[in-house]
Amino acid sequence: MWDRRNCQVYGLLHAVMATAVKDGVLPSNPCQIERAMNTARKREPKILSVPHVGELAEKMPERYGVLVLLAAWCGLRWGEVIELRRRDVGVEGATLTVARAVTHRGGCRIDTPKTGKARMVVVPPHIRAAVQHHVDTYVGDGDEALLFTPVRGGCHLNDKVFADSYFKPALAAIGGEGVRIHDLRHFAGTQTARVANLVETMTRLGHATSKASLMYQQQVSGRDVEIAEALSKLAGH
């Protein structure tokens, strides 16, 4: 198994060759090394069931329940979800503009998402009311007000404090020990893949891979609304 950097380089070459095939420049893609774009996982994600995600959100402190829902049903990364601001939420909680992400390498730094590009995510209808309620109840005035802030003050949530103080106790209450915050994004990926094609799934999640670069070229305009509605049907709404 190759390391991540080699996989990404090979993946970029594979994408370039695939585009050449699509454009009729090459008869076939010469990059066919089996599993060359797959890096070894140090840990397999633990995927919650649809009911357990709802239960987990309910067991969280109310001010953080929507964070779980957005991570799980919209596939936001931790750094993306904690940097969401009032101006990023569309009318009645129907959309999210994911334009920034927070990193804590060498201090708190606000940067672009992992792909370097902003994206708009359509929120599944079954959680929109909860999103809007959260904005109305817990988010400060002004476009720059963060959606999620530390209880004891400060700017952005700390992932370790959040996990130890709120996330793990809520997981224990539903028998979900061992699940990590990032596993909610894996939940989003598996659920989205059930109702969307590969191009739409990768685009919705904002994957920072060479494959995603090719898929952006093939995205079907407007399908994200249908995907969001189909996700709500999976939740029984």
Per the residue annotation, which of 109, 182, 194, 237 is the catalytic one? 182
Query: Which one-letter amino acid corresponds to residue 98?
Result: V
Residue 31 CB neighbours (<10 A): 16
Say what percent of the chain tops pLDDT 70. 83
Judged on CB neighbours under 10 Å (0-12, 13-18, 19+), 17 is middle
pLDDT tens digits, one per residue of 71-112: 999 999 999 999 999 999 999 999 999 999 998 766 778 888
Coil, helix or strand for 75? coil
pLDDT tens digits, one per residue of 153-208: 778 999 999 999 999 999 999 998 899 999 998 888 888 877 877 777 878 888 75
User: Residue 219: what pLDDT?
Assistant: 38
Per the residue annotation, which of 14, 128, 186, 207 is the catalytic one? 207
Q: What is the average pLDDT value for the chain, to the nearest integer?
A: 84
Q: How far apart are CA 86 and CA 49, in angstroms?
A: 30
Per the residue annotation, which of 85, 180, 216, 223 is the catalytic one? 216
Note the Cα 50 to chain centre separation in Å: 16
The CATH classification number of 50-186 equals: 1.10.443.10
Q: What is the chain's alpha carbon radius of gyration, rounded to the nearest angstrom?
A: 19
Q: Can you give the residue ranges of every domain in the chain?
A: 1-42, 50-186
User: Residue 120: what pLDDT?
Assistant: 93
Active site residue 207: yes
Active site residue 216: yes
Active site residue 43: no
Active site residue 182: yes
215 half-sphere exposure, CB direction, 13 A CA radius? 19
pTM: 0.75
Per the residue annotation, which of 14, 64, 77, 126 is the catalytic one? 77
13 compared with 66, residue with greater pLDDT: 66
DSSP element (H, E) containing 102:
strand 101-103
Strand ranges in 16-80 using DSSP code E only, listed in sequence order: none
Judged on CB neighbours under 10 Å (0-12, 13-18, 19+), 45 is middle
Least confident of 2-11, 23-32, 82-91, 108-117: 2-11
Is the pLDDT score of 217 beyond 50?
Answer: no
User: Residue 173: what pLDDT?
Assistant: 96
